[in-house]
Structure 1
Amino acid sequence: MKLSILDQSPISSGKTAKDALNASVELAVQADALGFTRYWIAEHHDMTGLACSNPDVMLGIIGSRTKRIRIGAGAVLLPHYKPFRVAETYNLLATLFPDRLDLGIGRAPGGSAEASIALSGDFLQNVRRMPYSLDDLLHFLHNDFPKERMYSKIKPSPVPDTSPVVWLLGTSEKSAALAAEKGLPYVFGHFMSDTDGPAVVKKYKGQGSRTIVTVSVICAETTTEAEQLALSSMLWSIQKTKDEGDGKVPSIDATQIYNFSGEEQETIRNMRRKMIVGNPQEVRKQLEDLQESYHVDEWMIVTITHSYKARLKSYRLLAEELQLSQ
């Protein structure tokens, strides 16, 4: 079983965006040492509790601080950008960090409607054009535009010896079908989807190639501690939905004084069913059980806790339990 990391660079209460970004760099460095396969960082816009609006900049820093681990975006939100610019950026990163670059592509807005308009104008029109934009991006990266196309005369320089590996991210049959159509490896977001994930992945695997499933995991030395950490993360999700609090991940202490309504308690029960929470042995067993459903050999783990130390420890305990560095 391979394990990778998806980092959303969350900002904890009492901390700043700089603290969160520094914690992300530290997490990537530790992931490199612990034996994780990949470290990807997400893209979000105008979100108070998430610090990374530009994975490209972070990957330049993270690549220079790591040696082995594959690094990438999870994901570049392609409807916001011109394919040539994305190809230039990731070719440059792939030149600096040879044979280590992944380019995850998504089509979500990553923020509010206002932020989307500020970034790229008519986002819905750009989403409709995404299959064509994806084609252009792949042609740029592979340098294989048909000669009759104007773009065949240009290259997104610098051109690396090994191109970035493009992955398509999604949470539905539609995204899986697009990945299969384009011949791209696929990442399914189990942690943020109510779709029948195993069915989507099974259908994709009948047409496609490599698959990763992303799951929310919180691991601690004891089950009680893990559940406390998870409750903090779930309260954060509830507060974001209701536009309560300061938008940052609340502390465990905050969960103990928060008066959860009946509706919120039901929401928490539903969210908890999508998460893997427990001590190292319990988490391993839950991952193995999920593997029985998905039949994939690589899991991308997203862990959000108020304490950055607890987050690092969660990943370390999991790496040790699965002997990733062996």
Structure 2
Amino acid sequence: MKAIKIGLIDFGARYSKYHSVHILNDIIDYAIHADKLGFSRYWMAEHHYLSRAWSNPEMLLPVIAGMTRQINVGVAGILLPAHSPYRIALNFKLLGTLFPGRIDLGIANSAPHKDMMRRLQDHAEESADRQTLFIRKIKELFEYFLREQELFEEDDTLIPPYKGTLPNIWNLGTSLPDHISLNEAPPLHFCKSFFHNRSTLEKETVIINTFRDKYYALTGKDPVLNVAFAGFYTPGKKKQRRYDNGQNRAHAVSFSNYVHNSIEGNADFFYDTLHNYQEKLKVNEFIFLDLSYSFEERRETLNMLSESFSLTPVS
């Protein structure tokens, strides 16, 4: 069985007592520490209501990538219906060229409320539903990435740097896509979230295996696929501990509306659960959302995961 790789996803949520600037400083330190401990990725989510540190974390990507050595850095994910595919292509191709192989572009079929959409776009494309917008924009984004020479020759459209390096493109979601033509897309990776719904491991196993078979039939190879999960580390002898009257290492109420199937326990419980996931799902990389709001507890969890799963530290 292959070694498990662990990446991180961060919503920027911390205790309200922390100043926004302190949160940003902590996020940078957190990513640097994760890089040193051998974590595979550090992803930041675009949300327009959860974090006092950012709404869209794109501006943080070059800062964190420039201060780390090997960890992949990305947005998970860009709310594509709310953005210009042209702008996304410009920014992420430049980043991909500056940090070859280390920039992850996560694409999510989601959008903020209409008022925020209007602010982001300077107008709202209200005539189209979100799914229609997403399909149109993802096709446009892929065209900018794949048809560089043709677009330049046809109408002088250029996505610099010319002949630069593309980011690693991830399709994120609670389901695996059936609306993207793989023949018209750059190499796509896939991240399946376990914490956005109340599904069971058995159901997720069927979904992932069905997708894997379909992908192989279309492409002749296995998909690059990881699974996102949420939880918090509770040191001690107990193998698992649930929320205890609201006094715990996470803010249960803040996450209760959108986080499910969380792993809550000590190092042995994390180890056993992820190896069970690996065996059932045939997935070797997991992306972890730490539900703790404390700077210190989040670092303690990084240390536990790195040691428990023998991650390879930066030498």
Q: Which category of TM-score, normalised to the shorter sequence, fits these structures?
A: 0.7 to 0.9
| 1:112 matched residue in structure 2 | 113
For residue 224 of structure 2, the aligned residue among 201, 207, 210 is 210
Partners of 1:277 and 1:160 lie apart in 2 by 46
For residue 200 of structure 1, the aligned residue among 197, 200, 207 is 207
Q: Offset of 1:122 from its aligned partner? A: 3.0
| 1:245 matched residue in structure 2 | none
TM-score (norm 1): 0.80
Q: 1:146 to 1:10 in 2, by over 3 A?
A: same
Q: Offset of 1:127 from its aligned partner? A: 3.6
Q: Offset of 1:293 from its aligned partner? A: 2.8
Structure 1 gaps, min length 5: 242-266
1:89-238 to 2 correspondence within 5 Å?
Answer: 89-109=91-111, 111-120=112-121, 121-122=124-125, 125=129, 127-144=131-148, 153-159=156-162, 161-172=164-175, 175-178=176-179, 181=182, 182=185, 184-195=188-199, 196-208=203-215, 209-222=223-236, 227=242, 232-238=250-256
Q: Offset of 1:193 from its aligned partner? A: 2.0
For residue 66 of structure 2, the aligned residue among 32, 51, 64 is 64
CA contact (8 A) 2:277 2:283 kept: no
| 1:259 matched residue in structure 2 | none
CA contact (8 A) 1:98 1:160 kept: no
Figure out how many residues of one structure are paired with residues of the other and give that number: 290
**Partner SS, residue 155 of structure 1:** coil
Deviations 1:266-292 (A, max 9, x none): x9xxx66x0112111111101112223
Deviations 1:160-209 (A, max 9, x none): 6431111110112xx42235744621111111123443232222212331
Q: Which amino acid aligns with 1:117?
A: R
TM-score (norm 2): 0.82
RMSD: 2.7
Partners of 2:303 and 2:119 lie apart in 1 by 39
Partners of 2:163 and 2:241 lie apart in 1 by 43
Structure 2 gaps, min length 5: 216-222
Fraction of identical pairs, as percent = 24
Q: 1:219 to 1:67 in 2, by over 3 A?
A: same
Q: Offset of 1:157 from its aligned partner? A: 1.0
Q: Which amino acid aligns with 1:55?
A: P
